[in-house]
Amino acid sequence: MKKRRVVITGIGVIAANGIGKDAFWSAIKEGRSGISLIERFDRTPFPTKIAGEVKNFNPADYIDKKQLRRMDRTSHFAIAAAKMAVEDAKIDLGNGYAERTGVIIGTSMCGIGYLLEQHDTFRDSGPMRISPFTALASFPDACTSQVSIALGIKGPSFSLSTACSSASDAVGYACEAIQSGKLDFIMMGGAEATLYAPIFASFCVARAMSTRNSEPEKASRPFNLDRDGFVLGEGAGIFVLEEYEHAKKRGAHIYAEVLGHGMTCDAYHMTAPDPKGDEAARAMEMALKNAKVSKKDIDYINAHGTSTQLNDKTETMVIKRVFGKQAYNIPVSSTKSMIGHLIGAAGSVELVATLLAMDAQMLPPTINYEVPDPECDLDYVPNKVRPAKIEIAMKNSFGFGGKNSILILGKV
């Protein structure tokens, strides 16, 4: 049986530099950073005092106030972005489509914030003062259940947790469900809210994050010679994934078709990528083969680009290994330079940037690119947006534990 085609017809996004696709894309085009001094908790004790914090988000705009207390900030982000995506797609998935629609959301730490807050209550006020919703709000699948409830979606509903590749893996699994005919629509993407002091402290102790506190907006500087670590971010990117013929029939705006996906694992180290890049390269080759496109057809790569010394160098090496001399002709940029690293939601918010770039035929910049690194010598679209033909794009995601997840997208 011929595989059904899968397209993206709705976008919802929450990021430090913009809430909603229009605000987000405006910031990306302007090369505007959302990195700032942390306000969610006392930043004084930490060597890193900056993050991609979402500061102008009011969950009550999207969720009943009574329900807000019953869920984690990750779920707030997921529901809000899902509602944006449904509105953008101009379809009511709970009306006639409920049984043929699923929810798949990638998240690395969903519910951990709620649990940490309730632990403080437990410690300070005793066991009988914690919220009765603590267990329900803190389990990893909570955000997908909340999205299903909020939108009346009755198909399969589950979370994927594969560290920083979670959201991209969610796209891959969602595509397979539609291609096989099991479902017609899927709400999919990623959501993450990790800006809680204990989590933040663990990354500080690991010395993984930038300490450029005096210039927050310049701290995330992927591929730049003096990069000194990633910047933690939060937010969500949720999409309406739809079978192509149905989307075409109803006259939906199609952002792109998901052409292929590749997944592998380095099986090497929990934080460091395999310096040989064998499995990252295999994931790229797998995605290209699955998409049935040639390497010369790739017009743009949205990189994982974390702004850490080892990851940026390894990703550059892998791109050159896969594409050979052609690598120097492919624009590569990192959206993390403007929003930070959203861990489980990284791939989805960066996918939003990729889709909007394809829609506008403009390359998102890598900001703060000032001093070239001899080992990172590709075209990173430095500092300014650039008009370009983008028919086929690659989105890279690499996660803790050696997870590699690659997406190929094409204009329809």
Whether 97 is covered by a domain: the verdict is yes
pLDDT band of residue 1 (cuts 50, 70, 90) is low
Distance CA 330, CA 317 (A): 14
115 in the same domain as 16: yes
Task: Give the DSSP H/E element, type plus range, for residue 347.
Answer: helix 346-360
* Residue that terminates a domain, selected from 184, 217, 249: 249
**Confidence band, pLDDT 50/70/90 cuts, at residue 111:** confident
Do residue 173 and residue 318 come from a single domain?
A: no
Whether 243 is in a domain gets the answer yes
The alpha carbon dihedral of 19, 35, 48, 352 has a sign of positive
Residue 112: CATH number of its domain: 3.40.47.10
148 and 227 fall within a common domain: yes
d(CA 44, CA 37): 11
Closest Cα partner for 210 from 27, 403, 38, 383?
38
Return the number of other C-beta atoms located less than 10 Å from residue 116's C-beta: 15
Q: Residue 349's pLDDT is what?
A: 98
Q: Quote the number of domains for the chain.
A: 2
CB atoms within 10 A of CB 224: 23
Residue 254 resides in a domain: no
Report pLDDT digits (tens) over 285-328: 999 999 999 999 999 999 999 999 999 999 999 999 999 999 99
- For residue 341, indicate whether it is catalytic: yes
Give 96's DSSP letter: S
Establish how many alpha carbons lie within 13 A of residue 69's alpha carbon, considering only the half-sphere containing its beta carbon. 5
Residues 217 and 281 in one domain: no
Q: Is residue 1 part of a domain?
A: no
Boundary of a domain, candidates 218, 249, 280: 249
Residue 399 falls inside a structural domain = yes
Checking if the pLDDT of 256 tops 60, the result is yes
- Above 90 in pLDDT, residue 159? yes
39, with CB counted inside 10 A (0-12, 13-18, 19+), is exposed
Per residue in 383-408, pLDDT tens?
999 999 999 999 999 999 999 999 99
Predicted pLDDT of residue 139: 87
Q: Give the active site residue among 164, 175, 204, 376.
A: 164
Residues 311 and 340 in one domain: yes
Q: What is the pLDDT of residues 284-295, one digit of tens each?
A: 999 999 999 999
**Active-site pick, 76, 246, 261, 304:** 304
pLDDT mean over 220-242: 98
Tell which wins on pLDDT, 234 or 1: 234
Tokens, residue 107 = 């998240």
Residue 118: pLDDT over 70: yes
By percentage, how much of the chain surpasses pLDDT 90? Answer: 96
Residue 115 shares a structural domain with residue 179: yes
Number of H helices, E strands in the chain: 13, 15
306 is a domain residue: yes
Residues 6+ apart with CB under 8 A from 127: none
Question: What average pLDDT score do residues 19-34 get?
Answer: 98
- 185-192 and 101-106: which strand pairing? parallel
Q: Are residues 265 and 243 in the same domain?
A: no
Could you tell me if residue 256 is inside a domain?
Answer: no
Q: pTM of the predicted model, to two decimals?
A: 0.97
* Domain extent for 184: 6-249
Three-state helix/strand/coil letters over 29-76 = HHCCCCCEECCCCCCCCCCCCEEECCCCCCHHHCCCHHHHCCCCHHHH
Q: Is 175 a catalytic residue?
A: no
245 in the same domain as 265: no
Do 372 and 226 fall within a single domain? no
pLDDT of residue 96 exceeding 90: no
Q: Is the pLDDT of residue 231 over 60?
A: yes
**Residue at which a domain ends, from 249, 283, 312:** 249
Same domain assignment for residues 151 and 217: yes
Greater model confidence, 92 or 352: 352
Residues 22 and 108 in one domain: yes
Options 76, 246, 261, 341, the catalytic residue: 341
Per-residue pLDDT tens digits for 126-153: 999 999 999 999 988 999 999 999 999 9
pLDDT in tens, 75-85: 999 999 999 99
Residues 132 and 49 in one domain: yes
- Residue 2 pLDDT: 73
CB atoms within 10 A of CB 118: 18
Mean pLDDT of 63-82: 96
Question: Using an 8 Å Cβ cutoff, are 223 and 373 in contact?
Answer: yes
Average pLDDT over residues 270-279: 94
* 397 in a structural domain: yes
Q: What are phi and psi of 261, to 5 degrees?
A: -150, 140
Question: If you search the block for the tokens 């910047």, which residue do you land on?
Answer: 231
